[in-house]
Chain A
Amino acid sequence: MSNSATATQGVTGQPRASERAVDIRDAHYVYPTGNVVALGGVDLRVEHGEILGIIGQNGSGKTTLTKLFNGLLKPTSGKILINGIDTSTQTVQQMAAHVGYVFQNPNHQLFARSIEEELKFGPRNIGVPEDELDERVAQAVEFFGLKDYIAEHPYRVSFPIRKLVGIASIVTMRPSILIFDEPSTGQDHNTTHIINGLMRRLRDEGTTVICVSHDMPLLADVVKRVIVMKDTRIIADASPREVFADKALMARTNLQAPQITEIALNTVVPRGGHVALTPEELAADISTRIRGTAVTPSSTAR
């Protein structure tokens, strides 16, 4: 097992600027167990710093697609280039420096004696020096609000906190591409808020984020581009506003636009209003209609 990819890319897995973050050409994937076709020809290009949402019904192939990104699965046919690197030539361990993958269930991920050790495990594996480890852990503890739990065993904290630890343990690796599989499932209000904030911070830092989610408000809030999957293929690729406004598409895939968007579509949109993604947008639209002017100019700033 050689480490050449990690060596040339440095421990943070910084991409070469000329390459795309993700470049997938005609990827097919068939699970050997039972010959299940999970991907039937997927093309996808993602630029550095993009925030991408992936939606689609259960079984449509979302998880399979994301597992191609860090080489956990190698395509049955087709090509996967990540930061310009062909995943078929790399081990998952080598890809780990480029692509962070947050598993849906934190219980599958956590094993260390303490949350602190858990947060250090990934970055240590990709060769981050010890003093920098402490700094990264301190930052993560601060951001995710884990101060009170740092010495706890990962299995002794509540599920939402454990999920945050699972996310934090990947974020401390500072990969240039981060994949989340259903980050907000089973979360409470507080942790959802933190995850929301994380997405925004990652966007501001220029990390490429790919987020599989059923949490439409989360996507509407932070994502600029949404991919819709159905029956092993990508059937739509557009802004969340366009995707959520497409009633036929949403019905065909059994998905529901955020409630706010639904309300907008059934009220102001037929009267020439625009497709709202957040309560603030809809409120602004409605109040303009009622009084001819917005209630608070500040809330229309979006």
Chain B
Amino acid sequence: MSMQMALPIAMIPGNSVIHRINPLAKIVWVVGYIALAFSTQNVFLLYGMALFAFLLAPIAGVTKPLLKGALILVPVASSLLAIQIIAPAVEKPWTHVADIGVLQLYGDGLYYGFVLLGRVVSCLLMALIMVMTTHPSDLFTSLSKLKIPYAFNFMLAMTLQLIPVFQREVGIIMSAQKSRGMKGRGFAAVLPSFVPVFVGAIERVQQLSISLESRGFGSNGFKTSYRQVKVRPSDWVIGIIGALLLATLVTVSIMRGLWSVSSLVVFPHIFVFWLFIVAAGTFAAIILATLIYAFKK
């Protein structure tokens, strides 16, 4: 029984090529991804972006935690697609594909559903890759170079640094409760354990603020950083290629009226039908499992 119930949103230590890329170059890619994802409706491009981000994971050695983090996409994807099939977010007339009882299924909204999902998937994967391969302090130093307001930058860095600390605390607290024979695994049974977590968090924040004040947090002037972040020629190359490539794609996309290729993509009726069955089934199963989990004592 593992003591860690790690939420995979913290840095995974390592020394891969990806880990060594300068945080600024990575920020360029993440920002570029977000810009491109929201200025295109080309599904091939969107899922190409997602695939590219995903292929970075084995290089960085974070495939497993990345997949864990991407689990959040299962309910998002299944609900999104199921809803687009029964209630397309496009203008009528819709083409009727099939019936399941009183439900009427349409294929028209599906393209748009895949676009929305592609945006979420590509941006999430890229952002996770960045967070998992960048030391919060390095990110902090890099962002200050960008003249991001110090207080904002600090909040971001603290949040990222505290996540693994809290993960560890949650693990210890859960095992302390189990050692006292805590019954049940439902949400209601686990809830009391979070009292110590929150108390610990508040105490920690109080101590942190005192310690920050005593060290002159908020004073003006130039700030130096203990961690030096090197910018190597390769970082320039990666950053500039990212900026150029993504900016070009954004421009092309916008010039082509968001580059929608919906006319090229035709979903066979049988595909829509089975997609609905799978998506709605998955979503229903998740809801059911959550309810059972919550009320089982």
Contact = CB atoms under 8 A, between A and B. Distances in A.
B182 to A, nearest CB: 6
Nearest to B183: A125
A33 B6 CA distance: 10
Contacts of A91: 1, 178
Interface string A59-76: 000000001001111100
B162 to A, nearest CB: 16
A96 B178 contact: yes
B181 A173 contact: yes
Interface residues of A, number: 33
Given A72-B3, A108-B176, A126 B181 contact: yes
Given A33-B4, A107-B200, A108-B169, A93 B193 contact: no
Q: Binding site of B, secondary structure by majority: helix, strand, loop or mixed?
A: helix
A198 B2 CA distance: 32
B196 A72 contact: no
Interface string B156-182: 000000000000010011011111111
Interface stretch (A18-26, A109-117, A208-216): A109-117
B180 A121 contact: yes
Interface residues of B, number: 25
Contact of B1 (A72, A97, A170): A72
A122 B176 CA distance: 11
B192 interface: yes
Contacts of A111: 177, 192-193, 195-196
B230 to A, nearest CB: 25
B180 A125 contact: yes
Interface in B181-201: 181-183, 192-193, 195-196, 199-200
B178 A103 contact: no
Contacts of B4: 32-33
With a 10 A CB-CB cut-off, give which of A70, A96, A99, A108 has the most chain B CB atoms.
A108
Contacts of B175: 67, 72, 92
Interface string A119-130: 001100110000
State the 10 A-B residue pairs at the shortest beta-carbon distance, nearest first. Answer: A125-B181, A96-B181, A111-B195, A122-B180, A92-B178, A101-B179, A109-B176, A126-B181, A111-B192, A108-B176
25 contacts: A32-B4, A33-B4, A34-B13, A71-B1, A73-B1, A91-B178, A93-B178, A93-B181, A96-B180, A96-B181, A101-B176, A107-B199, A107-B200, A107-B203, A108-B169, A108-B173, A108-B176, A109-B180, A111-B196, A125-B180, A125-B182, A126-B181, A155-B199, A169-B180, A173-B181
Given A92-B179, A107-B200, 13 more contacts: A33-B4, A72-B179, A91-B178, A92-B1, A93-B181, A96-B178, A97-B181, A99-B179, A103-B176, A109-B177, A122-B181, A125-B180, A170-B180
Interface of A: 32-34, 67, 70-74, 91-93, 96-97, 99-101, 103, 105, 107-112, 121-122, 125-126, 155, 169-170, 173
